[in-house]
Chains A and B, each alone.
Chain A
Amino acid sequence: MQIAVLSGKGGTGKTFVSVNLASAIKNSQYIDCDVEEPNGHLFFNPVIDEKLDVNVTIPTFIENNCNLCRKCVDFCKYNALAIIKDKIHLFKEICHSCGGCYVLCPEEAVLEIERPVGFIQKGYSDQVEVISGFLNTGEVSGVPIIKKLLSNVKKDSNTIIDCPPGSACVVMESIRNADYCILVAEPTLFGLHNMKMVFELVKLFKKPVGIVINKFFESNNLIEEFCKNNNVKILSRIPYTNDLFTVNSSGKIAVKENESYSNLFKNIFDNIKTEVCL
């Protein structure tokens, strides 16, 4: 089963929930798709078995063959190509590697070459397989890294996908094959506003969804109200306590420190299994 962990904004506790969930259950994989700033591995500190580069293809142009017909420039939906002083110029960060220019060129003036955009690393921390993706600084799109990460999903594993924040392409790529989506939300106006955006996204993808309220305290019912009005399951309310804060901010995995935390996350998993009727 693939469980994606999402949130509208950063800092609500996606990584906290993902890392602890993966540690609390058996036969689990943790995949960190937050490739702009992956940090789950800092909690797991895995023994790394493998490091793999991620490349994308970009075009390069043979000037002698090019007759400036502009077919490639006009085709490029992302406007990654321009004709400057009778030469084709590529903005490589904008190129989405669709290969259209290569296919369309009638003069065989386009070659495809590979360009590195980041890497993934695989390893184990106790029984948990930990796979993290790293996007090189300055790159625009993490999608190719996420594709490579998710090609490592094992069918018979419980795979926890730690998603990037927000609701952009990188998030859509991360939840594409998810069986269930957990939205982590904190009970603030900002938290509610951004959670709604992600809620709309997972509805669009027709994914079963449940909410984990993080930093929960009794007097605030913002998220609860939303869940009640939209008939969404609340999977858990994680209390806003000094102890949890201290454990997490010192880089420890809470479920390994205290049995009550372990039970809390096992309970989230049991709730999800009931929801998807496994």
Chain B
Amino acid sequence: MKIVLPVDEKEINSPICVSFGRTPYFMIFDTENNNYDFIENTAADSPGGAGIKASQIIADNKADTVITYRCGENAAEVLNKSEIKIYKAVEGNASENIEKFKKGELIILSEIHAGFHNNGGN
């Protein structure tokens, strides 16, 4: 299973980024072999629709699961329709969240916000 997390730094103990669509990096963690890798989030500096593009990147990387603090409605639509599950991140860094996920301690993200569109213009 491939888990994707938005992270601030390119390391396993990085804090999880508070923004999903505009996170600088995504960590891709493979639960089959505990290997992990980082990819740049090329959606981060988009003028708009960052969540959509970020979700597209995650879908293109054939992820099954996303762990994040927050997720906007457009991003959630892409992830849901791509059958990628969204779990709510809890306090702790990326690797701690992965351990909690493996133990079944994380819950599905139920609060999908309406997006922060139009901040500064449309």
Q: Tell me, in angstroms, the Cα distance from A168 to B47 when the chains sit together.
A: 13
Distance between A47 CB and nearest chain B CB, rounded to angstroms: 33
Contact A79 B122 (CB under 8 A): no
* A33-46 near B? 1/0 per residue, CB < 8 Å: 00000000000000
Distance between B78 CB and nearest chain A CB, rounded to angstroms: 5
Contact A168 B78 (CB under 8 A): no
Distance between B28 CB and nearest chain A CB, rounded to angstroms: 19
Contacts of A91 in B (CB 8 A): 49, 52, 74, 77
B56 at the interface (CB under 8 A from A): yes
**Whose C-beta in chain B lies nearest to the C-beta of A73?**
B56
A83 at the interface (CB under 8 A from B): yes
* B53-75 near A? 1/0 per residue, CB < 8 Å: 10110010000000000000010
B3 at the interface (CB under 8 A from A): no
Given A78-B48, A79-B49, list of 14 further CB < 8 A pairs? A76-B49, A77-B47, A78-B46, A79-B43, A82-B55, A83-B59, A84-B81, A85-B81, A94-B48, A94-B74, A140-B122, A168-B120, A169-B121, A169-B122
* A151-187 near B? 1/0 per residue, CB < 8 Å: 0000000000000000111100000000000000000
Q: Tell me, in angstroms, the Cα distance from A91 to B52 when the chains sit together.
A: 9
Of A78, A82, A83, A141, chain B has the most CB atoms within 10 Å of the CB of: A82
Q: Tell me, in angstroms, the Cα distance from A53 to B47 when the chains sit together.
A: 28
Contact A79 B121 (CB under 8 A): no
Secondary structure at the A interface, as helix, strand, loop or mixed, is loop
* A73-99 near B? 1/0 per residue, CB < 8 Å: 100111110111100010100100000
B117 at the interface (CB under 8 A from A): yes
Contact B82 A94 (CB under 8 A): no
Distance between A59 CB and nearest chain B CB, rounded to angstroms: 15
Checking B47, B48, B49, B59 against A84 with a beta-carbon cut-off of 8 angstroms, the contacting residue is B59
Contact A79 B53 (CB under 8 A): yes
Contact B52 A170 (CB under 8 A): no
Given A78-B47, A79-B46, A168-B120, residue A84 in contact with residue B52 (CB < 8 A): no
Distance between B117 CB and nearest chain A CB, rounded to angstroms: 6
B35 at the interface (CB under 8 A from A): no
The interface size of chain A toward B, counting residues with CB under 8 Å, comes to 20
Of A79, A83, A91, chain B has the most CB atoms within 10 Å of the CB of: A79
B17 at the interface (CB under 8 A from A): no
B16 at the interface (CB under 8 A from A): no
Given A73-B56, A85-B81, residue A80 in contact with residue B49 (CB < 8 A): yes
Distance between B59 CB and nearest chain A CB, rounded to angstroms: 7
Pick the 10 closest A-B CB pairs, nearest first.
A79-B49, A168-B121, A79-B53, A79-B52, A84-B81, A141-B122, A82-B56, A78-B48, A82-B78, A169-B121
Contacts of B121 in A (CB 8 A): 167-169
Contacts of B55 in A (CB 8 A): 82
Contacts of A84 in B (CB 8 A): 59, 78, 81-82
Q: Tell me, in angstroms, the Cα distance from A76 to B118 when the chains sit together.
A: 18
Contacts of B46 in A (CB 8 A): 77-79
Contacts of B122 in A (CB 8 A): 140-141, 143, 168-170
Distance between A86 CB and nearest chain B CB, rounded to angstroms: 10
